[in-house]
Amino acid sequence: MIDLEANHFEFLPIGVNRGSQNGGNRCVGLAVLQPGLFKYMYLSDLKVSREYRGRHIGRRLIQKSKEIAVQNGYCRLYTQGQDHNPGACLFYLNCGFYTGGLDTNVYQQPSVTASDEMQNKVTGLNDQLNKYRSTTVTYTLGSTTEVIDAGTIETWLQITDDSLNIDQEAVKSYVQNLAAKYNTIYVPRTFHTSYGNDVTVSDNEYGFQIDQDGEVQQLLTDLASGTAVTRDPVYSISGMQRNGADDLNGSYIEVSLDNQHLWLYKDGALVTETDIVSGAPKAGRETYRGAWPIAYKASPYNLSSQEYGYNVKVNYWMPFVYGQGLHDASWQSSFGGNRYKSGAGSHGCINLPTDQAALIYNTIDGGYPIIIY
């Protein structure tokens, strides 16, 4: 707005009325602003009454429009000019506009440009990344599996000396956790008995143990292969078979010393059960409680001891620990009950009826687990 008498201008938004056209105030200039692109507000129209041109009203409208643009979060103005109106184009240039549709001040030349060497390094890193992304490692633990996929591998990647490498500490940590989850030897073993209750044996020398150093090295090799690898973990000690953390998987010999009874299971099915005679309950003759693998089988075999003065031939010998084992005992008149307490107890071995010893011998192999409680 302009005060015609005082030559005073006032900026008003469209729609505000300060008096009538006959009252001395009138609109002498108009700037129309619209939301624009890329943080630029669009000056869609600019008009100044003909008789008031040359008084810098248009320039002042543009300056005010810039202020409005900044207040509304825009950084600059843009508009459109016609090439057949050079006067208007010159006016906008004098007001700080640029021609050509591109404000080159917005752009800067990069301070660092990609050399061939840098491009080769980037290409090499991408190739390495794609190789790791195409790698998987699947551990088989019976029917149970543990999978290291691309998502896990990416969390182990680190860039050192312009090269993409696996964080070895992360790999070691993974292998440690894998071992803690699936190692079953040299830790107390809780066993579900044929009577339906759980017992724990502390002397547990049967099961699986992951060779952590060997597994770390093998895993690093697998990760660098760019292939899908499926294998067992690297073991330092292996049991007979497993299904995840279950290293018996339905195949084992179970012995209850208190009840003088033995069960043989294979693949989850009961093969046989029988009464036994175990070691006498006195120092040096008790049968050890714990879990072990059957060391080997021998038929026939001579059992002898200078300390106890015996030398006897048995048909079926299946040792498990410290000179103790399963064998037939034809000299026993009967089995079970409390005979092991009343003079018929062995020197630690588990005495079996001959037919049962033969059946067990022909069913199992070396490495078969036996749990005695």
Which of these three, 82, 106, 130, is where a domain ends?
A: 106
Whether 260 and 220 share a structural domain = no
> What are the helix (H) ranges across the chain?
57-71, 86-94, 116-133, 150-155, 168-182, 212-223, 354-363
Q: How many domains are there within the chain?
A: 3
Is-contact 305 280, C-beta < 8 A?
A: no
Whether 265 and 367 share a structural domain = yes
- H helix and E strand count, the chain: 7, 25
Which is it for the CA torsion 290, 295, 298, 304, positive or negative? negative
| Amino acid at residue number 46 | L
Quote the pTM value: 0.66
Is there a domain that residue 321 lies in?
yes
Q: Which two structure tokens, joined as six digits, stand for 344?
A: 């018929």
Is there a domain that residue 242 lies in?
no
- What pLDDT score does 6 carry? 40
Whether 102 and 133 share a structural domain = no
- What pLDDT score does 39 carry? 80
Domain containing residue 67: CATH number:
3.40.630.30
Helix, coil or strand: residue 220 = helix
- What pLDDT score does 80 carry? 83
**Degrees to nearest 5, angle at CA 133 with 128 and 136:** 120
Whether 154 and 214 share a structural domain = yes
Which whole-number Å values give the CA distances from 139 to 60, 145, 182, 183, 320, in the listed order?
Answer: 76, 5, 11, 14, 30
Is there a domain that residue 197 lies in?
no
Domain containing residue 333: CATH number:
2.40.440.10
Whether 263 and 336 share a structural domain = yes
Is-contact 280 341, C-beta < 8 A?
A: yes
- What pLDDT score does 98 carry? 74
Which whole-number Å values give the CA distances from 305 to 195, 201, 312, 326, 349, in the listed order?
Answer: 35, 28, 9, 16, 13
- Residue 133, domain extent: 116-190+210-237
Is there a domain that residue 102 lies in?
yes
- What pLDDT score does 177 carry? 98
- What pLDDT score does 238 carry? 96
Which of these three, 55, 86, 106, is where a domain ends?
A: 106
What residues pair up with 86 in beta bridges, in sequence order? none
Whether 137 and 74 share a structural domain = no
Q: What is the pLDDT along the chain (373 residues), one digit of tens a residue?
A: 333 334 444 566 654 444 434 445 678 888 999 888 778 888 988 988 888 887 888 889 999 999 998 998 888 888 887 766 777 777 887 788 877 655 555 556 666 666 777 777 777 778 888 899 999 999 999 999 999 999 999 999 998 777 888 999 999 999 999 999 999 999 999 999 999 999 999 999 999 999 999 999 999 999 999 999 999 999 999 999 999 999 999 999 999 999 999 999 999 999 999 999 999 999 999 999 999 999 999 999 999 988 888 899 999 999 999 999 999 999 999 999 999 999 999 999 999 999 999 999 999 999 999 999 9
Q: How many CB atoms lie within 10 A of CB 22?
A: 7
Which of these three, 106, 136, 156, is where a domain ends?
A: 106
Whether 74 and 126 share a structural domain = no
Is there a domain that residue 69 lies in?
yes
